[in-house]
Amino acid sequence: MGIFKPNRIEAWLHRIRWAKRNIRQMRSADGILVSHTKSGRTWLRVMISHAYHLEYGVPANELIKFDNLHQLNPAIPKLFFLRDTKIPTFTIKGRSVAIPAGKKTLFIVRDPRDVAVSFFFHVHNRASFRELDRKGISSEDRSLELYDFMVSEKLGVIRVIDHMNRWYDEMQHMQYRSIIKYEQMRSDPEQALDKVLTFLDRKFEPDVITNAVEFAAFDNLSRKEADGFFNSDKLKPTDVKDGNSYKVRRGKIGGYRDYFDDQQNVYLDSLVGDRLNPDYGYR
């Protein structure tokens, strides 16, 4: 995939603008959704957006992005999607801004092994240079083979585990927090969406929940992505002929095992068993 590479000054200025915008939105949001990249965030975003389409008549091809739907109808909350609990300022090394106290914060989590595999394909097939730059991922990182990527402390399973462990510690001090697991969304999407909307906003009628889930079903979502239905780059493939460039790719629970031999899977499992907080239930 060809990647536009701006000069370093331009990249630094972009990071600062990105940080200022995101900090401002985080502080004024009604609810915050935290997840590592490739944890089901976009799928959940589609379900939430369609529920608001059904409830308030906002366009079906618009995905909620902070206050865009709120501007169409003030009854819709401003929801901010975040990949960590802290936003780096990019002005002073190590300086960041955390989620404000008292914010409703939903954590979306997924098995770190599945996240890391999906993140590999995201890095190689979808991520822009600017996204990679913000995340500190170099061209050398992108040259790694899948298993080497998976066992890299900077990039793979350990990266995801470290995020999740820190989040678990932080959420113990949050007044309004909730967790939804990707695996729960797959096994019972209606119950999961009902839980999410009740936490972030209010209780919705069962038929709204059911229709929103059906709209965002994986087969439907794959077709809509291929057809360019959504008015968002978040659901557009970078190469329509390459299945790995689609946002909606596989979503298989435990699908990571398909990519590795038995010995490699044993080691990946040991990383989760030895390092991840057992309260998540992924051991």
Q: Is 161 exposed, middle or buried (0-12, 13-18, 19+ CB in 10 A)?
A: buried
**What confidence score (pLDDT) does residue 250 get?**
60
Q: Is 8-280 a CATH 3.40.50.300 domain? A: yes
**What confidence score (pLDDT) does residue 160 get?**
97
E strands along the chain, which residues? 31-35, 79-82, 86-88, 96-98, 104-109, 177-181
The label of the residue with tokens 């932080």 reads 170
Mean predicted confidence (pLDDT) in 185-201: 97
Residues 6+ apart with CB under 8 A from 22: 80, 82, 87
Task: Express each pLDDT in 208-238 by its tens digit.
Answer: 999 999 999 988 888 888 888 998 876 755 4
Mean predicted confidence (pLDDT) in 264-269: 98
For residue 34, the cross-strand partners are 82, 107
Q: What average pLDDT does the structure give for the chain? A: 91
For residue 66, the cross-strand partners are 79
DSSP state, residue 62: P
Q: Compute the distance between CA of residue 225 and CA of residue 257 in angstroms, rounded to an integer.
A: 26
Mean predicted confidence (pLDDT) in 115-126: 92
Task: Express each pLDDT in 78-104 by its tens digit.
Answer: 999 999 999 999 998 889 999 999 999
Q: Compute the distance between CA of residue 219 and CA of residue 251 in angstroms, rounded to an integer.
A: 11
**What confidence score (pLDDT) does residue 199 get?**
98
In this predicted model, which residue has the larger pLDDT, 77 or 11? Answer: 77
Stretch among 67-71, 211-215, 240-244 having the lowest mean pLDDT: 240-244
Q: How confident is the model at residue 244 (pLDDT cuts 50, 70, 90)?
A: very low
**What confidence score (pLDDT) does residue 128 get?**
86
For residue 86, the cross-strand partners are 98
Q: Compute the distance between CA of residue 2 and CA of residue 239 in angstroms, rounded to an integer.
A: 11
> Do residues 133 and 11 lie in contact, with contact meaning Cβ atoms separated by under 8 Å?
yes
> Do residues 256 and 114 lie in contact, with contact meaning Cβ atoms separated by under 8 Å?
yes
Domain ranges of the chain: 8-280
Q: How confident is the model at residue 9 (pLDDT cuts 50, 70, 90)?
A: confident
Residues 6+ apart with CB under 8 A from 86: 96, 97, 98, 99
For the sheet containing 104-109, what is the strand order? Answer: 79-82, 31-35, 104-109, 177-181
